[in-house]
Amino acid sequence: MSEAKTQEKKYPAPQGNPETQAFWDAAKQGKFMIKRCTACGEAHYFPRSICPFCFSDKTVWEGSSGEGEIYTFSLMRKSPTGPYAIGYVKLKEGPAVQTNFVDCDLGALKIGQKVKVVFKPTDGAPLPFFTPV
């Protein structure tokens, strides 16, 4: 599958809502945000107003390094928009993020590989993806 390169495709624009709008506003600035609970200290993704671990409402936005490593992935060999690789990245800050891997040789992906966030445009706010470092 070394020929399986990422194709440029059109992604749906996030709809946003009052709870997550700050994430998308930051994404427009090229920043990848996570949430951290100041009561229990845990970071989480995707962002919630109430901490999913201790149920405190003392959660705050935090800029993520956007760096992490591939926890797992699966390469879909065929789809209407061509091959694509879904997976999870474990961020340096801890939380795992569901994503697609882009701008790389999809056939060479490996668990444990270092990756970093890259944004792709939509008709609205850009969406976060990950690419090998």
**Tokens representing residue 99 in the block:** 């994503």
Q: How many CB atoms lie within 10 A of CB 79?
A: 10
Residues 62-91 that bind other proteins (CB under 8 A): 71-79, 84, 86-88, 90-91
Closer Cβ to other proteins, 11 or 61, answer by number? 11
One of 22, 69, 94, 119 touching other proteins (CB under 8 A): 94
One of 32, 33, 66, 99 touching other proteins (CB under 8 A): 99
Q: How far is the CB of 31 from other proteins (least distance, A)?
A: 15
32 binds other proteins per the rule CB under 8 A = no
DSSP reduced 3-state for 110: coil
Q: For the chain, what is the total number of helices (H) and then of strands (E)?
A: 1, 8
Q: How far is the CB of 90 from other proteins (least distance, A)?
A: 7
- Cα separation values, 4 from 63, 82, 93, 106, Å: 32, 9, 31, 6
DSSP reduced 3-state for 35: strand
Residues 33-62 that bind other proteins (CB under 8 A): 42, 44-46, 48, 51-53
* Residue among 90, 82, 125, 117 nearest 101 (CA): 117
* Site of interaction with other proteins (CB under 8 A): 11-12, 14-17, 20, 24, 42, 44-46, 48, 51-53, 71-79, 84, 86-88, 90-91, 94-100, 111, 122, 127
